[in-house]
Copies of this chain bind each other. A is one copy, B any other.
Amino acid sequence: MKEKIISELKGRGIALDKISEIVFTLQTPYFPYLTMEDCHEAIGAVLKKREVQHAILTGLALDVLAEKDMLPEPLLSIIKNDESLYGIDEILALAITNVYGSIGLTSFGYLDKTKMGIIGELNNVKHRQVNTFTDDLVAAIAAAASARIAHSARGDIAASED
């Protein structure tokens, strides 16, 4: 399933490397010995989580269907126009960050507002592609991976590891 998810993200123009770059940028100030490999690994762990997979599948499907005009109105216009008062995309993103506890919340909000890296690129192709859910999902994956790194670095049992 994780491979399916990675492949679907690629299909929307999102390479995992791009998400790793965001994670690295966010966490390097706090963890000077962090490597891009650590970031890849964290993202890989996040993408193995069932709830994360479900949120991504659902959000990407809604974006793709909106692009193909296959959603009913008024939902179609709301999603195609990425209306600022439509918050269901943020709700799905929260489902992702919640898996690693609440410390990923701050990072998600910050990434979503500043549109760092690939998140900003997704925002810029809005005329060609519906990324209403996609940009929030990417920000959430980056935020969750960042949270996982923070938890693991402590040495204790991370919130997310059994």
Contacts and interface: CB of A to CB of B under 8 A. Distances in A.
Copies of this protein chain in the complex: 4
Interface string A6-22: 00000000000000000
A55 B98 CA distance: 14
Residue of A57, A85, A86, A148 contacting most chain B CB atoms (<10 Å)? A85
Q: Chain A binding site: helix, strand, loop or mixed by DSSP?
A: helix
Interface string A95-127: 100110111011111111110000000000000
Given A57-B74, A70-B70, A94 B105 contact: yes
Interface residues on A, range: 35 or more
B103 A101 contact: no
Interface in A75-98: 75, 78, 84-88, 90-92, 94-95, 98
B109 A90 contact: no
Interface string A123-162: 0000000000000000000000000101100101111111
A13 B65 CA distance: 25
B113 A107 contact: yes
A34 interface: no
Given A4-B74, A61-B75, A64-B72, 10 more contacts: A49-B159, A50-B159, A54-B86, A54-B88, A55-B91, A62-B62, A84-B150, A91-B91, A99-B159, A105-B108
